[in-house]
A and B are shown apart, each in its own frame.
Chain A
Amino acid sequence: MKKFIFVCMLLAMSLPASAHAQDDAAFVQNFYKWYIAASLPADKTPAFDAAIEKYVCKNTAQRVRLDYERAVVDADYYLKRQDVGKEQLDNLIVGKPLAVNASLSLVPVSMSEKKEYSPDLVVYVEKENGGMCISKVESSPGPNFRGDAY
């Protein structure tokens, strides 16, 4: 009986963490489903759509828009690719997040043409006051550098 109670306690202790991890992955999956679909029409740039702030932290969304307006980037910030197509949507796979601490997790994202899990995007998800937002996206081949401050 004692062993059963101990196992139940362990399970209860592990639940919030795994539920949280699942939330992060689902959140990132929903963002990319929306973002890629919104990018498909040739005249659409969803980085400028106010709806992006449902997923992306306000400062990050603003900074990306400034980059686009100044033409200082040569690829889509959120996808790290120049071309966006339906195949990215079809091949989208979000992996298991890694918690850095209570307020930040890293979520791996794959859009491999090989149609297998081969993640090359690291999505930084910040958590605060029960909400979450994407604060940064990096490419895992790298190298990544912080841009000049505005």
Chain B
Amino acid sequence: MPEFFIPVAALAATTPQEFVKEFYEWYFTKDYDFSDALKQDKILKYVDNDLVAYLKKIQDSHEVNYFTQMGSQCSGLENASVHVGDALPMADNVFVVPVTVKKEKLKNIVIVYVQKEGEKFKISSISDIYSY
């Protein structure tokens, strides 16, 4: 069986939308709850280091899963469908990407802020769509 060399760069997401979709597909395939997700080494591939450190600090005092903006105990989103909208380009290589998560009767929209540094993307912030 021949083995083919696939450069890592060829596998990396090239747009903020691809990157965000990859993150949520990973997240929902594993069906992590909030605290489990924060323990995974791979979270640092997707989420800004300082943000992960801060989320670890506040995880016990918050009832909302920052990544889904749903209840932190809300599970059962395994293999939920992830629809990614267009990206809004902002200053300093930040992109704002709306994401719709759906599974059966559950539906939620989050607004994901993605920072591009060199060829890599990292999630720097996530918001719900509700008023302040």
Give the interface of A toward B (CB within 8 A).
57, 59-60, 63-64, 77, 98, 100-101, 104, 106, 108, 110, 112, 118-120, 122, 124, 126, 135-138, 140-144, 146-147
Contact of A98 with B90 at beta-carbon distance under 8 Å, contacts A64-B132, A143-B51, A146-B64 already known: no
Query: Number of contact residues on B: which range applies?
Result: 20 to 34
List the 9 closest A-B pairs by CB distance, nearest first: A142-B125, A135-B131, A143-B125, A140-B90, A118-B91, A98-B88, A136-B132, A100-B98, A140-B94
Inter-subunit contact A119/B90 (CB<8 Å): yes
In whole angstroms, how far apart are the Cα atoms of A147 and B54 in the complex?
A: 15
Inter-subunit contact A140/B91 (CB<8 Å): yes
The residue in chain A whose Cβ has the minimal distance to the Cβ of B54 is A143
Contact of A98 with B129 at beta-carbon distance under 8 Å, contacts A119-B90, A142-B113 already known: no
Contact of A104 with B125 at beta-carbon distance under 8 Å, contacts A98-B86, A122-B96 already known: no
Inter-subunit contact A101/B113 (CB<8 Å): no
